[in-house]
Structure 1
């Protein structure tokens, strides 16, 4: 029997990587455009949902302009806060992507799923509202928080660094925010595992889970790793000047600590994320070229 999975936000980093996953032959994954299925419009959304009997929904759609959200609160809360609740009321198993921005970053260690939430800005508050709407819904659901997403596609920190380095010998990068750089491809792999389990096993674990690549870095440390690998592959590179958050003011405050614990997803789903450096290397090799192996 053919199983149908709906992916909203299919043109984002994770959505595009889901399309590159090797799905079982009896699974059809649907990636409607915004024109076909506008998650911000209940009429558009429910009209599309009536087109198939979906076995699972993966919600990658989000308002992700963190700074613009400070002035566009209504749109951020509609997409990030209300729409996930509409999906959760369908009764169809749901995987909803969320964010480290639900935390304020004041914890010294890694955040667990049940740690207190305290978003610093509109974006984080809207995503937290979405989490609550999903939990209150009728669907069996997994809320998957992730952070610092990078990939070879769409706009992200890694691609920005390569672009800036192509015309600048030095870049200034914040060195007092710490998190877990995470490959969109790896997120997609985790999402696929969870989605298939939710479809096949009515007793599959639900609730909030964290997924990030293993290890940690600052934005400055991530930039240096990107440039080291890019230079080794013959691509753009630059010197990195470490600065503080205060040196780079933004409209929305960012958490100083975005590190997320992944022990729960390892226990419940057997998912063990690889180190973030391996993920960065893979992306650099796709964008720039082979990175020579070092060491003996």
Structure 2
């Protein structure tokens, strides 16, 4: 590997350089081939001289199961895409050299034997059974009460009927609520919101610290910010440093977005962020960001 021509007094391992004692200059480390990735900073096995910097390079390791690297780079192995987590079929398996490829979302067909259909039918049947059982028990108790209070006036009977109607209506309402509970936003709905958002705002609108603060909590869940940061072009080492210096996950997510702003400057735009999270199938994050940004814009205008 040819030496770096520029005279450098300190060879920074974070920029993949090491000090050549014999030549007394910095040399650049070799990149990892596809299927391999650099070990983390905490696993380095070389010394760092206080004057000249790194005296060696981090080595490359084979990407473990669930991770991949598809290019010649200084990056660590990236996590594979989980198609099942977003309700899609897997058309190409993830290997150490390539990411998984997900198919389209297929709507359930009539007569489908999918687990979701079976669970929905089972829940619906259970609710109907509970309602029917409650009505039968009520009728039995009501008949017994009528026999014991045979000589009471008809007003008591009207009261019993009213009570029965109220309880059955309450049970029916519970059944309706249970059957309709759940997410209502489809992928098509989210794509429509995102399309309208992209048409509404300037393509060059920069991603601000307020934007980062507004969405950091949503991307902190399941360490989503790590995958987003990698796709935004933030070096893995920089993200690892942020994680090491911030114990709170939401702070890690916020600092990662701020790091993106620092690295990309005017290229760190709102629409680039939107395109990235849609590419990663994080539709809930995309919808929330668009809604919060629109609301903030309306508040500023009023």
Common fold by TM > 0.5: no
| Band of TM-score, shorter chain | under 0.3
Kindly indicate which of the two structures has a greater share of residues assigned to strand.
1
Question: In terms of Rg, which structure is larger?
Answer: 2
Kindly indicate which of the two structures has a greater share of residues assigned to helix.
2
Normalization by structure 1: what TM-score? 0.19
Relative CO higher for 1 or 2, CA cutoff 8 Å, sep ≥ 6? 1
